[in-house]
Structures are given as C-alpha cells and as structure tokens.
Amino acid sequence: MGFWLASERTGQQTDFIQRFDPRFWTVNFPRPAMASVVTTAADALRVDAVFYNSDDLAGLIWDTKDTLDHPLLAYETCADYARLSLQFRWRSSGIMALDQINGPTLTIEGRDALGNPKNWYVRLWNYASGTPTDAQINLEFSALDGGFMLPGEAERVYPHDIDRLFISIMPPDYDGIGTRLPAPRNGWVEMSGIKADGGGAVLEIGDVMVPENGLSMASGYDDSFNQTPERLLRSIRSLGYRGAINHYVGMSHYFRLETSGAGLYASLSAPQPGEEFAAINQPCTVWHRDLAVRAKAMDFTIIFSLSYELFDAHCWSAWKQRAENGDPALTGWDPPSTLLSPAQPAAMAYLQAVARAFTAIARDAGTAIKFQVGEPWWWTMPDGRICLYDAAAKAEFGAALVSIADIKGPKTAVQNAMLDQAGAMLAQSTADLMAAVKDEALGAPVETLLLAYLPSILDETAPEAKRANLPVGWASPAFDILQLEDYDWVIAGNHAATQRGIDLTTQRLGYPASAQHYFAGFVLTSDTRFIWANMVDAIAAAQRRGTPETFIWALPQVARDGFTFFHEQEDEMDAFDDVQFPISIGRNAMVSPQFSTDIITTLSGHEKRNSDWADARLQFDAGPGVRSEEELRSLIAFFRARRGAAKAFRFTDPYDHSSNDMAENPDAPPTAMDQIIGTGDGEKASFQLVKTYEAGAQTRLITRPVPSSVLVAVNGMLASNWTLGPLGQIIFDLPPAANSQITAGFLFDVPVRFASDRIDMSASTFLAGDIAEVPLIEVRDAP
C-alpha cells in the first residue's frame, strides 16, 4: 500500500463543468442561525435556513478558488468574470423578499482596477423580472452596478479580479438590532435554471477515479454543513473509498433551539409549521435526507454517529457533567462543547430524540440503518478531575458517593465501587439510546456500533478509569460492532500502545476481530502532515489484525492535505515468501554491490555526477554454490516454488550479514551495542533497525533481521520490553525516555528475487564442470 499528499494535478484526468454548477455552492452564517444547501437538479439548488434573532444572516456563496475539494478533484481558479453572465430563477419563502430594503443582495468581493481590495453590493431586485418571491434574474458582470437605487447610486463592478460571490439571506423582519424573534423563523430559497454564458462559463475540474482502496471514510456534519451532500459523496467515491460512511452528526449544528431568558437552548418543543422533528432543525433535516438518498443510490451506507457532546452555549445547565467543585465538563475547542450526564434523564431523553430523528431519516430513505454511539464517557479534566458530580449523578450514587480528586493513580475499594457504578450508568444510558433507535426503526434491521477512544479510557496513569469509561456493561453482544480509535498513539508512532489497548479491550469486552472496526488517526493541522505516514502504518497493522473495516478520519483533512491512498500494484505480503534460500548453495555466492550514477561530461572535460540511490543495490550469483546434482535439484525446486522472479525471499549475504564489523572479525556474534538505531523522546515507541558503514557515511535499512538474533539496549542496558515488528521495526512497550540512546545487534538477511523467470543449465555441462549462472537481485522493502 502507498499514499500521496497531492498538492495539485500533474496530468491526471480532467473534465469540464459550467461555472456556478449547483454542486459547488456553499452556505455560511454566524450563530445562532443555521442553514444548509442541497442540489435539486443538475441546474438547481435549495437553501434552507432558520433564524432566531432579528439580525441573523445567512449567505449563499460561490468561491472563485476551490479550497474545499481534494486537489485532484478541485475546479480551476479563474478570477476574470468579464464577458460572463449568470441567469437563474429565484423563488423564496420565509425570508426577506427581493424588493425590500435589506432584501437579498449579491456582495462581490475582489479588487478594483488598481488592485485594491474592494466589495460591491448588488441589489438583486435591480436585475430581476417577476415578483419579489418568484423572479428571473440576469447578471451581466461587465455591466453590473452596485448601489441601492440605479442609476443614481450606481457603482460599476470591476469584473476582472473577483474572489467570491455572496448572496445574503435574512429573516423577513430583519432590522439589524439583534432582537430575539418571538419564535424561530424557517425560510428557504430555490435557484433553478442556473446558467452561465460567455467567456469563462466553463471551468476545468479534476475527474480522477482512484481505484477502490479497501478503506471507508469518516466525516461529520459540523465539518461539512456548508457543502452539498452531492459534492461530498463525489469526493469520497472518486478517492477510492467504498462501503460505509461513518457520519458524525456533530454537536453544534444539528439542534433546534428555544429561548429561555436571554439564552437559546437545545429544544424538544413541538415542531413549528415547516419543521419535521422536535430535536433537529429543518436545514439539518433537509441536508441529511439528501445525503441518505444519494448515498443509497451510490451503494454507500451511512453510519449515523451521535456523541454525548453538545455545544456548551446551548446546553441546559442541569444537563452538564460536572467536576466535584461544580465546574462543568468543557472540551478544549473554542468555543467549547460540554458533555451530557448519563445520569440526567432530560439530557438522555434529548439524545434519544435526536437519535430517533436520524434513524427516521435513514428508515424513510430505505437505506440500511446503522447507528453509532460515539465516544460516550465521563469527562476527565486535564488536571485529572473526573466529572461524576452533577446533581443527577450524585443522587444516583447515593451512599456510594465519595471523593475522587484525581482519576490518576491507584484507588481505594470504595472509589473503585463508585467508578463501577458510574460505568453501569453509562452502559445503561447507551442501552436506552440503542433501544430508542430500534424502536424508531419500526422493525427494520438495525446495526448498532460503539466507538471508544482508547488513549483516554486506557490511560496507563489512570488504571481504574476503565471502570467508568469502558464498562463491562458494553461487553459483547451489547453492540454489534466495537469501533476503536487511537490517534494519540498513531501521532506518536506508538504501535505497541495500540496493540496493548486493543488486546485489553478485546479481553475486557469480548468482541472478536471480525466484530471490530478501526479509525486511523487524525491530522488536526496541515503543519503535522507527517502523521499521514503513521496513519498508513496503522492501517496496515489493522489489516494484519483482520479488521474488516478501517475508516479514515476525516474527509476535510483528506481534502486539505491531498491525502491519496492506494494499493500498490503488487501486494507486498503476497510478493515475499519468508523463507531462506538454501544456505549450502548461497554460502559460496558471488556478490556485486551496485549504485546508479548519472555522469555528464561538460565541453571543458569536467564531470558532473549525480547519485540516484542512497544505498547500494546488491546482485548475487548463486551459481558457484551449486556443487552436486542434489543441490541442483534443490535449487530447481526452490525456483519453482518462488514462481521464478515472482516471489522475493531471504538470502544470507556471505560477506555482510551481521550488525558487527565483519571486516575485523567475521565470526564475532552481534552485541546489543553494535548499531545506534535512534534516540528516545518520551513519545516515540518504534525504531527501525539500521546498519551504518564508514562512520555513518552510509546508512542501510535492515528489514529482514533474523528474529532470534536481535538484541536491544537502552543507554547501554540490555532491554526486554520490546517486540520485533514487521520489516525490522523495534517496538517498545513504553516509549524510551527522552535523550536515551537506543542500540541493537542482529543477524540479517537480504530480500532478493531471481533476476529472471528462467534458469539455463543441463546435466551434461554441469557434470563436465561448467558453473551455472543463478543471478539474484536485491529488492527494496518499504518499512
């Protein structure tokens, strides 16, 4: 397997779209307003919005530069809109009409003729024909004027350098003051017959189709609410992902809100006219119905994922988990989210209502119903305080309530009893949630899933935390699938911690590998792109464990960094047989180290030399080792078993097969101090075996060590807390301390293959003393 972080297209397949293609419009808005956009036809889109204040605003946006799609799929950037026209039919309801003072306005962001940043405000009603709620609009960018009254207030748009178009959408009683509306106002806009004409009306767009890569995609509504579902599904399919899409419904965009005092809070009041559900807002409903229907048509299934996390500003005070001193459980996001208490009946009833809404959406779309409870836990503060002390939880604990000032370290028997009770509360809350989902499914089959974040709930400094956050009440068959996530360990390259965590979880909850899914990593910011390589290693490890489904988390980061995952043409595991070339034959082989150097001779006779390879590639001739007919038959049998050059295998280089300096003492056994393989940093747990030559002038990766020969030392002390991973990886149980020196000693083989699919030899020439040629060539492993 391999990956590529693509920054741009370099000859990949392209196609063309009409500029203003409905799939690529977006929406945005300041809180608390909410809006969504979906495509309704090849030339049409719909925006749904909900407003709570008299100064709420939403915008329908066309960006000149595509910053949301994967670089291989993005449309081209063309900022010149001169000689271009845009026509569409506008229909609206529940928003400010076209003819009003603050009616829909097209804001054009760009630069003037001198290159200075400039915005123009184009009143759409000035270019409309029809009624204020149903009109045909025609915009000629080379003859477009900003200003409210034309021609008196006209300000000509400079069309040659435009960054963005923004069409404002406001409540009908917009006043700019910010007064709370008596009730939430729902409205919609439809643009149909969208057509671009003239110069620049057609844009090139990436049209790649990465082969199916065996992975699934994860995404979330909070990250993708501003895009059309059709655009997202196009990306997922084009990048090679298939099967299920794990879709986190989020914590900050799905909810309906109601007024209480000066605040707005998550609502379960009766739906208003035009709304379908009590717990989720109408823009969210429309968007997810479109997602479910389109996903089914493309043979995707959606796993709807709901967590116990909610945007703090809209969460009722009594619902929040709290630390012992009353501090609410707040995450590190800005602005923060909070965690709902599993012991709080109203909070859990709210989650059940949310789950029912999304289940109904899947049911009505006729798609498979799959529902995940995502990372449910009792929150732990950074200083170790566990949030078990909200009023509802304290009442539930009763006489068992004790102080747990810090979850870290050992606990007393009564503290452990309280943690066990907290775990039982958590398990019961998830069981009730899944019961609501199954009830809403109305008899349709339901697949239930649980996502657990192992680095937090299996923190080695808090060995008893698992009592509360990995409760035995989740043991199989409480859920159909256990999904595991470990990105802190992936970031650190701590594969040993991953394996320990999965082993412990499997032992505790009893889900076999066939009933486990894996979430591979998370690259929060673009300046940590190195994590993608760690993620690919983690994916390979998951596949070796037999994990049936592995998810990439998440689509926005994949698009941002251009992550492109693919299986190389030949599966590395299938292309290598872990067997030894017959030693008796190989002992007398001839060896030829080879480099690749480009040499250019200039007119003056000087040479310019460029070495293409960092390490020598070895070639061997094993023919001199064939000394008898028995060895000849052994060689032919081995050649047939490898299918000629198809399969690589182990070969012991008679002149270089040990970590020690064989030039000085060829028979000296390896020692743990032979080779420096790394320096500890307190986080990294995996180190690659290497052998250096000529005081570090050349470093050779050792990917095929002899397992029984490997010795490892930390700061000169022989170590045993490690395992030998694939391709020469030394994986420590715990990361070595910062600045510690890691050394190793080992015997090793060279991965080679037969140089061709044919060996020429005959019995008569062999018996007459001719030496057969048996060329072998080193192959490169990729650790």
Higher pLDDT, 643 or 570: 643
Angle between helices 282-297 and 229-238 (to 10 degrees): 30
For range 119-126, the mean pLDDT: 97
The answer to whether residue 739 scores a pLDDT higher than 70 is: yes
Q: What is the secondary structure of 55-114 as a DSSP string?
A: T--EEEEEESS--SS-TTTPBPP----TTEEEEEEEEEESS--TTSTT--EEEEEEE-TT
State the pLDDT confidence band at 282, using cuts at 50, 70 and 90: very high
The tokens for 28 are: 């945005």
For range 664-678, the mean pLDDT: 87
Q: Residue type at 403?
A: S
State the pLDDT confidence band at 32, using cuts at 50, 70 and 90: very high
The answer to whether residue 489 scores a pLDDT higher than 50 is: yes
Q: CB count, 10 Å around CB of 153?
A: 12
> What per-residue confidence (pLDDT) applies to 695?
64
Q: Using one digit for the tens of pLDDT, what is the confidence trace for 685-729?
A: 889 999 998 766 678 889 999 999 999 999 999 999 999 988 899
Q: How many helices (H) and strands (E) does the chain have?
A: 15, 46
State the pLDDT confidence band at 762, using cuts at 50, 70 and 90: low
> What per-residue confidence (pLDDT) applies to 591?
72
pLDDT-above-70 percentage for the chain: 92
The Cα 551–Cα 555 span in angstroms is 10
**Sheet containing 741-745, strands listed edge to edge, beginning at the edge strand earlier in sequence:** 675-679, 741-745, 711-714, 717-718
Q: What is the DSSP letter of 203?
A: E
Q: Using one digit for the tens of pLDDT, what is the confidence trace for 359-406?
A: 999 999 999 999 999 999 999 999 999 999 999 999 999 999 999 999
> What per-residue confidence (pLDDT) applies to 495?
83
The Cα 207–Cα 196 span in angstroms is 21
The tokens for 283 are: 């823009």
Q: Using one digit for the tens of pLDDT, what is the confidence trace for 135-150?
A: 999 999 999 999 988 8
For range 60-86, the mean pLDDT: 97
Q: Residue type at 63?
A: D
Q: CB count, 10 Å around CB of 490?
A: 26
> What per-residue confidence (pLDDT) applies to 628?
76
> What per-residue confidence (pLDDT) applies to 575?
75
State the pLDDT confidence band at 606, using cuts at 50, 70 and 90: very low
The answer to whether residue 610 scores a pLDDT higher than 50 is: no
Q: Residue type at 473?
A: G
**Of the candidate ranges 170-184, 638-652, 686-700, the one whose mean pLDDT is the lowest:** 686-700
Q: What are phi and psi of 287, to 5 degrees?
A: -65, -45
For range 752-779, the mean pLDDT: 73
Q: Residue type at 779?
A: V
Alpha-carbon Rg for the chain, nearest whole angstrom, is: 32
Q: CB count, 10 Å around CB of 721?
A: 11
For range 659-688, the mean pLDDT: 86
Higher pLDDT, 247 or 600: 247
| pTM score over 0.85 | no
Q: CB count, 10 Å around CB of 772?
A: 18
Nearest to 24 by CA among 68, 59, 58: 68
The answer to whether residue 768 scores a pLDDT higher than 50 is: no
**Of the candidate ranges 17-31, 653-667, 723-737, the one whose mean pLDDT is the lowest:** 653-667
The tokens for 499 are: 């394996």
